[in-house]
Each structure stands twice: as C-alpha cells, then as structure tokens.
Amino acid sequence: MKQHDPVLDMIHKADAAAQRRCVQVDVQQIYVRDRRVRQIQRRLGVAAIMVLVLAVILSLPHRPKPGVLAPETPSLAVLEAQADMLLARADFLLDMEVEVQKHLDTAARISALESKMNEIKDPLDQVKAEVDKAARAMVVCADRFRGTPGLRREAIAKYKRVVALFPDNPWADIAQKRLLALTH
C-alpha cells in the first residue's frame, strides 16, 4: 500500500537522486575528544568542589569564645593562596592520574601480548602431529599393498619400516599386529 503512494515514490526517488559523499568516521579523533571531555569534566568537578569548600568556609559563623581574643580572620590573600595550593594539588593529582592511566594501558597491552603468546601452538606438538601423520600414511600405503595380489613383500617391508622408524607411535603397534598377521 505504501509503495503505491505517489508521494512516497517521489520521496524515494528524491532520496536516491541526492548525491551523498562517503563519510569517514575518525576513531582516533573520537578517542582524543573523549579524553579532552573527561579532562574538562574532572577539572570542572575539582573547581566545583573547591568553590563549595570555600563557600562553606566563608559562611561559617565567627563566634569568638568569651574572654579569649578573637583569632585573626583569614584575609582574602590567605584564602587565595590556599586556593592556589589546592589548584596546584589538583593539577598534580591529575598528572598522577594520567601517569597511572599510562601504566594501566601498558599493563593491558602486555597482558594482551601474553594472551597472544599463549595462543601460539607448541612446535613440539606440531612435530608430533606430523610424525603421526607420516606413520599413518605409511600404514595406509602398506594396507593397500597387502590388499593387492603380488605385493605382500612390499607390504611387509612397509610395516617393518613403520615399526623401525616410529617405535613409540601407536601406528607402530598397528603395523606390528598386521605384520604378525601377514607372517603367521
């Protein structure tokens, strides 16, 4: 029903006729922007906390004890110095966080490499598999000789060769059994 609506047909055609250029999404730029946004948010958070602390400090009622001289109220310069100190400390903590993040990234990379290394197969196992394959091929070949009239000797020679070359392989046991069956 929708397909026969002339308005929809026109929309489809107009959309198809619109030439759209290829859009490339830059993932690296996304990471950079994300880092920048997080950094700004952290700084804003620190600034907000500091403003709050200052507001609380300034709003505290000043009640000197009776008989005791009122302590000198902190001047604006002192408060500014404290604020500067807090800012410097916040910057230092942010730098520390960046360093820690770097270390964490390195650790993650190392663990990823370790997991990759674990995925690499043991070459000894591969060699064993190849030997197993070769022994099996020879036994299969000997079986074919055994089944062919006039090739009994060749079959016996093949079985003997398997037993001699791969004594520890399970295929050597099979060859030995077939050899016994042929010779007795």
Partner 1 sequence: MAKTRDDHKLVARLHTGDKAAFEQVVAEYGEGVAGLVYRLLGWSGDVDDVTQDVFLAVYRHLHRFRGDCSLKSWIFTIAVNQCRSARYRRMIRFKRRGTQPAREQPCASTLAQQEEVHQAVRRAVARLPARLREPVVLVYLEGLAVAEVCRILKISTNACHVRLSRARDRLRKLLEDVSVL
H/E segment holding residue 42: helix 27-59
Residues 6+ positions from 3 with CB-CB distance below 8 Å: 9
Q: Which two tokens stand for residue 183?
A: 């010779």
- Distance in Å, CB of 31 to partner 1, minimum: 8
- Contact between 1 and partner 1 (CB under 8 A)? no
Regarding 77 and contact with partner 1 (CB under 8 A), the answer is: no
List, in order, residues 6 or more apart from 142 with CB less than 8 Å away: 154, 155, 158, 159, 162, 175, 178
Is position 70 an interface residue for partner 1 (rule: CB under 8 A)? no
Calpha distance 158→173 (Å, rounded): 13
Q: How far is the CB of 12 from partner 1 (least distance, A)?
A: 7
Taking the least distance from each CB to partner 1, the nearer of 25 and 60 is: 25
Closer of 24 and 183 to partner 1 (Cβ): 24
Are 171 and 139 within 8 A, CB to CB?
yes
The residues in 33-62 that bind partner 1, with binding defined as CB under 8 A, are 33-34, 37
- Measure the CA–CA gap between 150 and 142, rounded to whole angstroms: 13
- The footprint of partner 1 on this chain (CB under 8 A) covers a number of residues equal to 26
94: left (phi over 0), alpha (psi -120 to 50) or beta: alpha
Q: How crowded is the C-beta side of 38, counted as CA atoms within 13 Å?
A: 10
From the list 1, 4, 14, 77, which residue makes contact with partner 1 (rule: CB under 8 A)? 14
31 is a contact residue toward partner 1 (CB under 8 A): yes
23 binds partner 1 (CB under 8 A): yes
Residue closer to partner 1 (CB basis): 23 or 124: 23
Piece of the chain touching partner 1 by CB under 8 A; list 23-31, 74-82, 125-133, 158-166: 23-31
Contact residues for partner 1 (CB under 8 A)?
A: 2, 5-8, 10-15, 17-18, 20, 23-27, 29-31, 33-34, 37, 108
